[in-house]
Amino acid sequence: MTAEATLPSRWRFGRLTGIGPILALLAVLLMVIAIRQPSFYDPPSLLAFLKRAAPLVILAAGQYFVIVAGDFDLSVGSLVTAEVVIAARLIDGDPAMTWPVVALMIGFGLMVGLANGLITTALRVPSFITTLGMYLILVGAVYTWTGGSPRGALTEEFRLLGRRGIEGIPFLQQLPYAVLVLAGIATIAVVLMRSDFGKVLLAVGGNPRAAALSGARVNLMRVIAFLISGLFAAVAAVLLGGFGGVSFQVGAGLEFTAITAVVLGGVVLGGGRGSVIGAMLGAVTLEVLFTLLNLFGVSGALKSAVQGLIIIAAVAIGRTRRN
């Protein structure tokens, strides 16, 4: 206690301790990879890893804003699926449609976020229920609209963002667009949280009544958090659509993985505590863990078991250290 108090710029130290556990876990996993497969650290393969991790990190960043404001967003996985399926059907292989549809996807993500936010705040439905209902609605709607199997096709232009990159960069070979998108989103997220908006959002999640009494527009902040989550999910959908094929499975379960990542990053469910950097590091850590499990030849089936144990252990250790 006293040692900490005598340190200069204590707020900075405090911010770092928040992400201490996740940094330690990430460091351990990265060290194991270094021993097992040093070639992971070749710049091209490192960038390929970041490209793979980008969608989950972006989703975790979006989920962070909602969670830190005291809510949940269970609809992001189904939103990603809906976005990709809608894009494939509307583009239907026509290159001229690519960018209008990408714009439409962004708009759709914002719209879903707005609906989640308004239902949660104006109608006072708990966000768990709002977004669970939205999840059912989105899944049902895309299945109904496509008659049970995805139709249409994405264009090469669309897949560019998820698959390709700027070629011919010395030393790196290729700089994937997905990594650039990730860098952009991460910058936006960090800047937002360092701004007044971020401070008010934390206050709203920590104690909504106190925040309201000190003049914060609590409901507006919560709606904006849902808007950000919807927007980031749309961006993740553009990348995921580029990586893989069009299927109803593309977003399945991503909401839980994103929430897991956020919690792993030291963010407290219920709101008010934790950093967006921690949330994104949580997502990177999960992806490193999946890579590591692959390296050790752990069957895909056991992955979720290991994932479950790590979450429980990480959260339990985080708790006992805090107390």
Partner 1 sequence: MSGMRERGVWVALAATLTIGGLLVYADGGALFGQSSTVSMLQRAAGLGIVAIGQTFAILAGSLDLSVGFVISLTSLIAAETMAGSNGMVAPAILAVLAVSAGIGLVNGLLITKLRINAFIATLGVGLVIKGYLEHGYAGPAGSVPASFQRLGYDRIGPIPMSFLLMVAVAVVSWVVLKRTRFGHHVLAVGGDVDVARLSGVRTDRVLIRTHVICSLCAGIAGLYLASRLGAGAPRVGAEGGYDLESIAAVVLGGTVLAGGRGGVAGTVGGVALLAAIDSVFNQLAIDPFFKQVVRGTVIIAAVAVYALRLRRKEALA
Kindly list the residues in this chain that would bind partner 1 in the complex (CB under 8 A).
74, 119, 123-126, 128-130, 132-137, 139-141, 143-144, 148, 256, 259-260, 263, 269-270, 299-309, 311-312, 315-316, 319-320, 323
Q: Which is nearer to partner 1, 19 or 311 (CB)?
A: 311
Count of other CB atoms within 10 angstroms of residue 166: 12
Q: Which is nearer to partner 1, 32 or 125 (CB)?
A: 125
C-beta of 151: minimal distance to partner 1 in Å?
14
C-beta of 284: minimal distance to partner 1 in Å?
19
Tell the burial category of 204 from Cβ atoms under 10 Å away from its Cβ (0-12, 13-18, 19+). Answer: buried
Q: Which is nearer to partner 1, 124 or 209 (CB)?
A: 124
Count of other CB atoms within 10 angstroms of residue 178: 29
Rg (CA), the chain: 20
C-beta of 148: minimal distance to partner 1 in Å?
7
Q: Which is nearer to partner 1, 32 or 252 (CB)?
A: 252
Q: Which is nearer to partner 1, 197 or 256 (CB)?
A: 256
C-beta of 35: minimal distance to partner 1 in Å?
25
167: left (phi over 0), alpha (psi -120 to 50) or beta: beta
Q: Which is nearer to partner 1, 1 or 301 (CB)?
A: 301
Spatial contact of 289 and 306, defined as CB atoms under 8 Å apart: yes
What does the alpha-carbon distance between residue 22 and residue 35 come to, in Å, rounded to a whole number? 20
C-beta of 266: minimal distance to partner 1 in Å?
12
Q: Which is nearer to partner 1, 185 or 218 (CB)?
A: 218
C-beta of 33: minimal distance to partner 1 in Å?
21
C-beta of 158: minimal distance to partner 1 in Å?
25
Q: Which is nearer to partner 1, 174 or 247 (CB)?
A: 247
Among 166, 155, 143, 182, which Cα is nearest to 51's?
A: 182
C-beta of 192: minimal distance to partner 1 in Å?
25
